[in-house]
Amino acid sequence: MSQHITIDPVTRIEGHAKITVQLDESGKVEDAHFHVTQVRGFEKFCEGRPFIEMPSLMARICGICPVSHLVASSKACDALLAIRIPPTAVKLRRIINLAQIMQSHALSFFYLSVPDLLLGMDADPTKRNIFGVLAQHPEMARDGIRLRSIGQQIIELLGGKRIHPAWVVPGGVNEPLSAEKRSQMLAMLPEAREITLRALTWFKGALSQYQEEIASFANFPSLFMGLVNDSNELEFYDGHLRIVASDGRVVAGRLDSLQYQTFIEERIENWTYLKSPFYKPLGEQEGMYRVGPLARLLVTERCGTPQADREREEFLATYGDACASSFFYHYARLIEILYASERMEMLLNDPDILSPRVRAHAEPNQLEGIGVSEAPRGTLIHHYTIDENGLIRSANLIIATGHNNLAMNRGVRQVAQYFIKDAHITDGMLNRLEAVIRAFDPCLSCSTHALGEMPLLVQVLNAEGTLVDERIR
Amino acid sequence: MSAESVKKVSVATVWLDGCSGCHMSFLDIDERLIELADVIDIVYSPLIDNKIFPEQVDLTLVEGSVSSEDDLAKIKKIREHTRLLISMGDCAVTGNVPSMRNPLGSEKILQHIYLKHAPSTIVPRLLSRVLPVHQVVSVDVFLPGCPPSADVIYYTLTELLAGREPDLINYTRFGK
Amino acid sequence: MTMSPRVKTLIIDGRDVSATETTTILQAAQEVGMFIPTLCSLEGLSLISACRLCLVEVKGVNKLLPACVTRVEEGMEVNTSSERLDSFRRTILELLFAEGNHICSICVANGHCELQTMAQRLGMDHVRVSYISPRRQVDASHRLFTLDPNRCILCTRCVRVCDEIEGAHTWDVMGRGIASRVITDLNEPWGDSTSCTSCGKCVQVCPTGALVEKGKSVAESVKHPGFLPYLKRIRGQQ
């Protein structure tokens, strides 16, 4: 009798999802899927709203990465105003964006994944959580709490509150930085670096225990996509898109993210609210790509800050051949936190960072605006059109986690086929199905959105007029 | 008195149709989580691996509005098995941003995103209207805010643990 | 022979208060620092007792009276607060919240809104009635200002200030009952109005985020209606 396994809900991720596995009569895995079970429709219900409200409205898409949406949305609104915001405002937005990278990655690593990585994938499920880590390895738990807290405190010092700060606005930010707050931030960064280096040392040592996971956790060739600056270094705020294959080939060295609709297409599936984007020029199969920390490390030629660069080089030297394994997202996340702390320090020490000129004012001057940034989980695009009065006519969002949908589904299938050999299924096997998803650190509240303006429905009918195939383009 | 001899209060946290911001605000209590862990036992939460809501929970924090059939079934079950239910955050208390789809209706939303191909298997159907939690089940404590601050969440928990009713009206409000 | 107004003495919440005979209960209470909730009344504008938040109990009268338009009388005994009144006031607020689409978290008036502040002050922290969730379009046609009817509570301060102080009478109310809404001129887009002088008084007296200046992002809309009593006095309309 063929069996159907359901894991509901998937825990220790952001948002709502299920995993299903279909086994044949002999207990072999036929297929496995990752189902996202929530959708809210931000792009539709924001129609008719004044565009100036969009950043804070879009922030409510996610409570872990509201700053990402604030930044990408504000950039789209800057485009509607057709302005260039003051340089200090750019730097301040960069800092809050990096602080979010720090706290979000710290949450993902310490709170959501360390229970598996430190206590073990097969550990007692009642203890396999942050509280279990707290009980058995308090220093690790404290490190994680503190690191996330530092990121959150920097956001709070800049924006007034930790979650959904209304500080990032079209035209810049609505308050300059004070010297007092800058000192407070600078004082916390060395500790953040120490914690990250401690975690890296431990993680690198622990990797030898995870050979099977490295081999099976969404470990397959794919494309990788991320923003880079003009020197092909890590870039979270501006820059252009770059696509690199897992064998190192540069597939697209310089893509204008404003033209995203020409190279990203999506597929709708009946069994998940999340759509599946792929790189159009290579089609659905070859065009699967991944975004996020691992992708960013692979599309860049260097991070751009000294300690992060050292760690990245060591990672590639040791695991370069196996770098297509999504297990290394965890490694990449830690390197990115290191980068964030170094880069934030540089920006805070910039001579202009305390300037009072942090906001440009204008009326809408353009009816279409696109804003792109790198969220913790990958490339994020906000695309708005407005009417003559500044009311939103349409909104399209490409969400970081969405790009990874094809890879997550394939990863779940791969893990299922690797670990489940017959009808005897252990809790540890089921946990590994979830753990591969956790490696991607998905943000599912964010992810379920529309893509594409005026999609074209193409139907193929045969001679009798019966529907043979249907595509959305 | 050792930790084992004091019976810990069982606490559950649930997110329905929310952004997880209230849960993040809860985690923003930072190191206070460590002392809380001595007196509470988190028995069900997105942060832990228990997949089944326990038979009897002392206190449940609910984030998010009721937007799908899954949410509806979940909140009814939670109400049945919990002593004190706290609506945490504006989505749970008023509907907030998810309820912005109410004037349009869920059909329009799905049509906009998926044209004629709205997913229909495995994933839960959307309700025609987004509802705040108390319009589905009875709620014991209302904790507005978007999200309510870590301090006010911590205050609420510690007051409830001490057997007192938290005085929230001066401490937080819609949109705070 | 001109008669100066007579002084009356009354009791408000057990406290002796004196006021001239043309004073309303609301004014008398405010003069001695006592709080009676209001949303539609504003010093400098005519009074219409629309919101009913200021309803008070008066001994010997079997119905509640709106304090903003009820003049003081000798020996009146007024109760401004009781379980019944508190419950009515919370219900009024709940109905106001349920009637529009009041999403505080992303509103330009968040933190500076009289409706929001009143809810907090009166202990209203959730709405028990079903939200109507009406479909209301934003009017952003004016170059400087925006009307968002989702946030309008029909206090009609905008109507009154435009009519009484600016004199343009651009704003008025159309429809009846729950279909009532504020309109500009003959229900044309505000930007097409020929009577509007763009003075912005309506924006300053609006208690919520319904009328705002363009360019204000979330939580940035702070109103300054303080000019009102001064303007009214200058125009000699005392």
Residue B12 lies in a domain: yes
Partner residue facing C126 (CB), from B132, B175, B176: B132
- Answer whether C137 touches A (CB < 8 Å): yes
Asked if residue A34 is part of any domain, the answer here is no
Phi-psi region of A246 (alpha: psi -120 to 50; beta: other; left: phi over 0): alpha
Cβ pair C105:A60 closer than 8 A: yes
- Check CB contact of C119 with chain B, cutoff 8 Å: yes
Nearest Cβ partner of A50 from C110, C146, C220? Answer: C146
pLDDT at A22 over 60: yes
pTM: 0.93
Report the neighbours of C using a cutoff of 3 or more CB pairs below 8 angstroms.
Answer: A, B
pLDDT tens digits for C118-135? 999 999 999 999 999 999
Give the domain extent around A116. Answer: 39-406
* B168 shares contact with chain C (CB less than 8 Å): yes
Asked if C216's CB is within 8 angstroms of A52's CB, the reply is yes
What subunits make at least 3 CB pairs under 8 angstroms with B? A, C
Return the residue in A389, A392, A393 with the most chain C beta carbons within 10 A, the one to mutate for interface testing: A389
The reply to whether A390 falls in a domain is: yes
Provide the domain limits for residue B68.
3-100+127-161
Q: With an 8 Å Cβ cutoff, is B99 touching chain C? A: yes
The region of weakest confidence among A208-212, A336-340, C229-233 is C229-233
Q: Is B115 a domain residue?
A: no
Does residue A238 form part of some domain? yes
Closest-CA residue of C relative to A168 is C217
Distances (CA, A) of C73 to A37, B77, C10, C34, C81: 64, 58, 7, 18, 19
* Domains in chain A, number: 1
CB pairs under 8 A between A and B: 172
C106 touches chain A (CB under 8 A): yes
Per DSSP, A210 falls in state G
pLDDT band at A1 (very low <50, low <70, confident <90, very high): low
The minimum CA-CA distance between A355 and chain B, rounded to whole Å, is: 28
The arithmetic mean of pLDDT across residues A129-150, rounded, is 96
Q: Is residue B21 part of a domain?
A: yes
The pLDDT of residue C1 is 54
Q: Do B103 and C135 touch (CB under 8 A)?
A: yes
Write down the pLDDT at residue A462: 63
Residue B148 identity: P
Instruction: Give yes or no for a cis peptide into A9 (omega within 30° of 0).
Output: yes
Q: How far apart are CA A124 and CA A315, in angstroms?
A: 31
B and C: number of Cβ contacts within 8 A:
70
Give the residue from A16, A188, A174 showing the smallest Cα distance to A102: A188
> Looking at the domain assignment, is residue A452 inside a domain?
no
Tens of pLDDT, residue by residue over C37-79, are: 999 999 999 999 999 999 999 999 999 999 999 999 999 999 9
Q: Tell me the average pLDDT across A330-344.
A: 98
CA distance A44 to chain B (A): 6
Dist CA B144 CA B139 (whole Å): 13
Please check whether residue A417 lies inside any domain of the structure: no
Mean pLDDT score of chain B, rounded to an integer? 92
User: Residue B134 and residue C133: Cβ atoms within 8 Å?
Assistant: no
| DSSP state, residue B81 | T
pLDDT at A37: 81
* Whole-number pLDDT of residue A452: 40
Residue C85: the pLDDT is 96
Residues of A in contact with C101 (CB under 8 A): none
Q: What is the pLDDT of residues A240-256, one digit of tens each?
A: 999 999 999 999 999 99
Question: How many separate domains does chain B show?
Answer: 1
* Distance in Å, alpha carbon of C99 to nearest chain B alpha carbon: 12
Contact between C205 and C171 under an 8 Å Cβ cutoff? The reply is no
Per-residue pLDDT band for A451 (boundaries 50, 70, 90) equals very low
ipTM > 0.95 (yes/no): no
- Residue scoring higher pLDDT (C131 or A322): C131
Q: Which two tokens stand for residue A366?
A: 């353009």
Percent pLDDT > 90 in chain B is 80
Give CA angle at A425 (A421, A429), nearest 5°.
85
**Whether B100 and C101 lie within 8 Å, measured CB to CB:** yes
A242 three-state secondary structure: strand
Q: What is the CATH number of the domain that holds A153?
A: 1.10.645.10
Residue of B nearest to C118 (CA): B173
Residue pointed to by tokens 């060295």? A253
CATH of the domain at B42: 3.40.50.700
Q: What are phi and psi of C57, to 5 degrees?
A: -95, 135
Closest CA to A92 of A154, A146, A152, A148: A154
In a domain, B118, yes or no: no
Q: State the Cα–Cα distance between residues A320 and A323, nearest whole angstrom.
A: 5
Q: Peptide bond preceding B147: is omega within 30 degrees of 0, i.e. cis?
A: yes
The answer to whether the CB atoms of B132 and C125 lie below 8 A apart is no
- Distance between CA atoms of A219 and A217, rounded to whole angstroms? 5
| Residue B57 DSSP one-character state | E
Residue range B103-115, pLDDT digits in tens: 998 887 777 777 7
At position B72, the amino acid (one-letter code) is L
Is residue A3 included in any domain, yes or no? Answer: no
Query: Residue A238, by phi and psi: left (phi above 0), alpha (psi -120 to 50) or beta?
Result: beta
Distance from the A171 Cα atom to the nearest Cα atom in chain C, whole angstroms: 10
How confident is the model at residue B1, as a pLDDT? 42
